[in-house]
Amino acid sequence: MAERIAGPEIERLVQLLARLPGLGPRSARRAVLHLIRKRDELLGPLGEAMRVAHERILACSVCGNIDTSDPCAICRDPRRDAGLLVIVETVADLWALERAGLLAARYHVLGGVLSPLDGVGPSELNMASLVQRIGEGGVREAIIAVNATVDGQTTAHYLADLLAPLGVKTTRLAHGVPVGGELDYLDEGTLAAALDRRTPF
Amino acid sequence: MAERIAGPEIERLVQLLARLPGLGPRSARRAVLHLIRKRDELLGPLGEAMRVAHERILACSVCGNIDTSDPCAICRDPRRDAGLLVIVETVADLWALERAGLLAARYHVLGGVLSPLDGVGPSELNMASLVQRIGEGGVREAIIAVNATVDGQTTAHYLADLLAPLGVKTTRLAHGVPVGGELDYLDEGTLAAALDRRTPF
């Protein structure tokens, strides 16, 4: 179709861009036209940045984070508290916590959550490496920071059971009303949790 | 910020992707994680497709379309009616008409619309080349296929005046109810145009 219009190179770029999350065929076409308009400021540098990323980025063999070095910058950072291990589902969650800048801990990226229906069992996730890592000692507290979804919470309970014999203190994120949240828009489960765990002024 | 987390290469990729229309910082980060997960099927090929596009794509000196050859494939296509010239605002509009596959015409891409407030006058658009192209003869009808916006219609009228002395037949797209459109959702102007230009069964 568009091949006939503007050559296979453009069509290929549209098709590849359309596979990014958040972009469909129409927005991919718009993005390609934008790229071509900004050919030297954007198209060239972006292509080069992708080439570099493709060449250099790898998963950290310790924590599962992505970086250009292995172990990653977080695992190598001596200013971080190696005794505090935050267990997250994905690198995106790790980034979210790092952006918030709330703690200087180390991480362990599971790579997903348990989901029997999708064929994701413990062996599909980075759980063996987690047990080994904690078993080697040095971890004082494991904070299970998975999402508050059904699969996330199932995974959290599984992890708590898995880590119990290792004698490490295991905690999880609190449930409650999000800051800035309006009660009217919250689900019953959140309201119940917020009431249940109410704290004195 | 993320530089500290995962190295400047990833942060640079996020920043460049966030400049695409339809992607913000958050979706750019999601896109980068997706790219890295699909590193060999997507990240590598996309980087390469961008490199190729950056190297080869140029604007057609005849019509303003983008292609890897100059003149572009449309201008070189002998099966197209060279007497029928469709004037569009952007390459995206050209693509939209080509996707519809309604006519085998040639195009002229203005590169925008007249917009005095934004400092876009006739000399900022590909109008001189349009007049020259039609002046050279061979064009039977010029279809002004600009958007039905205020600026688009201003531009259409300006073009009609500009082309009048050249003796070429000038037409524009019809206004009316879009196919599949519901009257309840249409603006007054569209309804007025559709009533005004009603046709017998």
Q: Any idea which fold A66-172 has? A: Dna Topoisomerase Vi A Subunit; Chain: A, domain 2 (3.40.1360)
3-class DSSP state of B59: strand
- Which residues are within 8 A (CB) of B50 and not within 5 positions of it... i.e. 6 or more apart? A13, A35, A43, A44, A46, A47, A50
Q: How many C-beta atoms surround the C-beta of residue B184 within 10 A?
A: 5
Residue A200 Cα, gap to closest chain B Cα (Å)? 36
Q: Which residues pair with A59 in a beta bridge?
A: A66
User: Could you tell me the two tokens for B143?
Assistant: 């279809």
Q: How many beta-carbon pairs below 8 A join chains A and B?
A: 188
Q: How many C-beta atoms surround the C-beta of residue A182 within 10 A?
A: 8
Chain B partners of A49 at a C-beta cutoff of 8 Å?
9, 12-13, 16, 47
> Is B3 a residue whose pLDDT tops 60?
no
- Which residues are within 8 A (CB) of A137 and not within 5 positions of it... i.e. 6 or more apart? none
Name the band, by pLDDT with cuts 50, 70 and 90, for residue A74. Answer: very high
Closest residue, chain A, to B23 (C-alpha): A22
Nearest to A65 among B6, B12, B43 (CB): B6
Query: What are the residue boundaries of the structural domains of chain A, listed by start?
Result: 2-56, 66-172
Q: What is the pLDDT of residues A109-158, one digit of tens each?
A: 999 999 988 899 999 999 999 999 999 999 999 999 998 888 999 999 99
Q: What is the average pLDDT across B107-132?
A: 93
Q: Where are the alpha helices (DSSP H) in B78-140?
A: 91-100, 128-135
> What is chain B's Cα-based Rg?
22
> Is A4 a residue whose pLDDT tops 80?
no
**Phi, psi (rounded to 5 degrees) for B9:** -65, -45
Closest residue, chain A, to B35 (C-alpha): A20
Q: A2-56 belongs to which homologous superfamily?
A: RecR Domain 1 (1.10.8.420)
Q: What is the pLDDT of residues B28-50, one digit of tens each?
A: 999 999 999 898 999 999 999 99
Between CA B42 and CA B34 the distance in angstroms is 9
Residue A2 Cα, gap to closest chain B Cα (Å)? 7
Domain B74-172: state its class: alpha beta
Do B2-56 and B74-172 agree at the fold level? no
Chain A partners of B67 at a C-beta cutoff of 8 Å?
6-7, 10
Q: What is the average pLDDT across B171-200?
A: 83
A123-A124-A126 Cα angle (round to 5):
80
Name the band, by pLDDT with cuts 50, 70 and 90, for residue B184. Answer: confident
Type of residue found at B92: A
Nearest C-alpha neighbor of A17 from the set B57, B38, B68, B55: B38
pLDDT, residue B2, reads 40
Nearest to A22 among B27, B36, B69 (CB): B27
What's chain A's average pLDDT? Answer: 89
Nearest C-alpha neighbor of B132 from the set B58, B63, B71: B63
Closest residue, chain B, to A44 (C-alpha): B54
Record: contact B57-A9, CB cut-off 8 A: yes
ipTM exceeding the 0.90 mark? no
A12, A19, A20: best mutation site toward chain B, by most B Cβ within 10 Å?
Answer: A20
